[in-house]
Every structure is written in structure tokens, then in C-alpha cells.
């Protein structure tokens, strides 16, 4: 039982290659997050303000995203679209399409949740002050919505990063595939490389996702403590609102 393959990590440019692979995964998730945030806000507004048909389309979209494993969507987009439409979408673009499709729906739902959690009186007061709809959203509703959304959106980022490990399955050479290549190229000299290399990948993902999710938790805590609603009202109400919020948070945290 020699070495456990830690040495393999530092042979040649192996470690840089692993980091390079990690960057491939990160790049895909960051681009997808950026797209998801923009489209998700639009979708959230539509889900609250749209007519019945629009709402129905959004619901179906959300339900598809909730039910279908991302891996299935990846295969459908990467292999399926070429078959049906003749579009030849490269692997990385396919991944970005799938993650944006998924992220937009999730983000839209977060925006919707945040929008309807704004008490009606805020809308009514703004209107009573004679604000046009645009101004009302710009100065009254959106600032409050964003504050409620940010921690949850940050969670979405870590979920995206974690899910990008699947892109290996459509042939993208990301960190896991690089890990396999390294194990394979060194099988003769260090048969135990799998331990060191997969262990390193495990820790790499943790080192990236953990700080981000701590940040989300810290923001959530700080802003919910500051939330004027929860301080002013009596205990019973307080409990109810926190209960509802808990459920919502979990729902979104869990579905990853």
C-alpha cells in the first residue's frame, strides 16, 4: 500500500490540469448563472403579472425542470437536437443551454416567491402615492425583492457548480475526466492513484462551494434579522412567517 497517489498529483502539470478542468466546469456554471439571473427575473415577473396562459407555460416549464434529471436534459439537448432538428450544438453550449433552462426556471420561481412575499400594502401605498407601475417596481418592490432573493440565488450558484460535474457525460473534459486521464496514465507506476486524485477532486469542489454557501447563509441570517416585519409583530405571527419562509427556502435549497 504505497503512496495512495498523492505524488501523482504533482507529477508534470497534473495539478494544473485538474485546476484547468475545474475551471471548465466553473466557466459553464458562471455563464449559466448569469443568463439564468437575467432571464429568471423576467420569468418571475411574468409568473406574477402574466395572464393565465403565460403562467401555465411557466408552471409547466418549472415542473419539467423539477422532475427531469439534469443529466437527461443534457443528453436530450446534446444528442437529441441533432437527431430531430439537425442542429449541431457543441458540448459546452449544450451544457450552458441546459443549465440556463434549469436555472431560469428556478430563478423565476425564486423571484416569484420573493415578489408575492412583499406585503400587498407596499403596492397599495406606492399606488396611493401616485407612482406609475415602473417607478413602483424600481423604487419600492424590487429593492425588497432582491434582498430576499440574493441568499437563495447564491445557493443556486453552488448547485449549478455541483451539477456541472455531470458534463463529463457528454464528453466535456472537465475535472473528473482529467482525474480519470491522470489515473489512467499513471496506472502502472501508482496503482493507488484513484485515492489521491479523486480525493483531491472532492476537496476542490468543497473548497469552492463551501465559502459560497457560507456567504449565502450569513446574508440570509443578517437580512432576516434586520427584516422589520419580523421585529414588529407579535410572536405568533413571527412564527408563522418564519415557518413559511423555512419551507420555501428548503424547497429551493433541496432541489438541486
Partner 1 sequence: MSGIRRKAWIVSIAAAVSLMAGVAVQADEPFRTLDEIKESGSINIGVFSDKSPFGYVDENGEYQGYDVYFANRLGEDLGVEINFVSTEAANRIEYLQTGKVDIILANFTVTEERAEEVTFALPYMNVALGVVSPEDAVVESLEDFPEDQQIIVISGTTAETYLEKNYPDIKLQKYDAYAEAKTALENGNAAAWANDNTEVIAFAVENEGFEVGIPSLGSQDTIAPAVAKGNDTLVDFINDEIVALAEESFFHKDYEETLIDTYGEEYENTLVIEGGLTDVPEDALETETEA
Partner 2 sequence: MRSYLPLYRDALLLTLRIGWQGVLLALILGIVCAAILQMRVPVLRTIVVIYVELFRNTPLLVQLFFLYFALPKIGIRMTPEMCGTLGLGLIGGAYMSETFRSGLDSIAPIQEESAVSLGMSRSQAFRYVILPQAVSSSVPGLVANVIFLLKETSVFSTISLMDLMFTAKDLIGMYAKTLECLTLLVIFYLIMLLPVSILGSVLERRMRYAEFGD
Select 126 or 193, whichever has its Cβ closest to partner 2: 193
Locus of grid cell 409547466: 60
Euclidean distance between CA atoms 10 and 40, whole angstroms: 42
Binding to partner 1, residues 167-226 (CB under 8 A) = 169, 171, 173, 177-178, 180-188, 191, 194
Task: Looking at residues 63 to 102 of the shown chain, list those that interact with partner 1 (rule: CB under 8 A).
Answer: 79, 82-88, 90-91
**Segment near partner 2 (CB under 8 A), from 121-129, 133-141, 145-153, 234-242?**
234-242
Number of residues that bind partner 1 (CB under 8 A): 40
Residue 247 interacts with, from partner 1, partner 2, none (CB under 5-8 Å by kind): partner 2
CA distance 66 to 61: 9
Sequence-distant (≥ 6) Cβ neighbours of residue 245 within 8 angstroms: 117, 224
Task: Find the binder of partner 2 among 154, 201, 216, 220 (CB under 8 A).
Answer: 201
The DSSP-derived string for 98-114 is HHHHHHHHHHHHHHHHH
Residue 231 interacts with partner 2 (CB under 8 A)? no
Residues 6+ apart with CB under 8 A from 71: 166, 169
Q: Are 103 and 156 in contact (CB under 8 A)?
A: yes
In contact, 210 and 189? CB cutoff 8 Å: no
Of 16-24, 36-44, 94-102, 207-215, the window that binds partner 2 (rule: CB under 8 A) is 207-215
Q: Let me know: does 107 contact 44? Beta carbons within 8 Å.
A: yes
Give how many residues touch partner 2 by CB under 8 A: 53
Residues that bind partner 1 (CB under 8 A): 11-14, 17, 45-46, 49-51, 53-54, 57, 79, 82-88, 90-91, 133, 169, 171, 173, 177-178, 180-188, 191, 194
Amino acid at each position: 500500500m504505497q503512496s495512495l497517489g498523492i505524488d501523482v498529483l504533482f507529477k508534470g502539470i497534473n495539478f494544473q490540469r485538474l485546476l484547468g478542468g475545474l475551471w471548465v466546469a466553473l466557466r459553464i456554471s458562471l455563464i449559466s448563472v448569469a443568463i439564468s439571473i437575467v432571464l429568471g427575473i423576467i420569468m418571475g415577473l411574468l409568473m406574477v403579472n402574466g395572464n393565465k396562459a403565460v403562467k401555465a407555460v411557466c408552471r409547466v416549464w418549472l415542473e419539467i425542470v423539477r422532475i427531469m434529471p439534469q443529466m437527461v436534459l443534457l443528453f436530450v439537448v446534446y444528442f437529441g437536437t441533432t437527431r430531430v432538428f439537425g442542429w449541431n450544438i457543441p458540448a459546452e453550449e449544450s451544457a450552458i443551454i441546459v443549465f440556463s433552462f434549469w436555472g431560469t426556471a428556478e430563478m423565476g420561481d425564486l423571484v416569484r416567491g420573493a415578489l408575492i412575499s412583499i406585503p400587498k400594502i407596499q403596492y397599495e401605498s406606492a399606488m396611493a402615492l401616485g407612482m406609475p407601475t415602473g417607478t413602483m417596481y424600481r423604487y419600492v418592490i424590487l429593492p425588497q425583492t432582491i434582498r430576499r432573493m440574493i441568499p437563495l440565488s447564491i445557493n443556486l450558484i453552488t448547485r449549478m457548480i455541483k451539477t456541472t460535474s455531470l458534463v463529463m457525460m457528454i464528453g466535456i473534459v472537465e475535472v473528473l475526466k482529467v482525474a480519470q486521464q491522470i489515473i489512467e496514465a499513471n496506472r502502472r507506476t501508482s496503482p493507488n492513484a484513484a485515492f489521491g486524485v479523486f480525493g483531491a477532486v472532492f476537496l476542490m469542489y468543497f473548497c469552492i462551494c463551501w465559502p459560497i454557501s457560507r456567504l449565502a447563509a450569513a446574508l440570509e441570517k443578517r437580512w432576516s434579522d434586520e427584516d422589520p416585519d419580523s421585529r414588529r409583530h407579535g410572536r405568533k405571527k413571527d412564527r408563522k412567517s418564519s415557518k413559511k419562509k423555512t419551507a420555501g427556502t428548503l424547497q429551493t435549497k433541496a432541489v438541486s
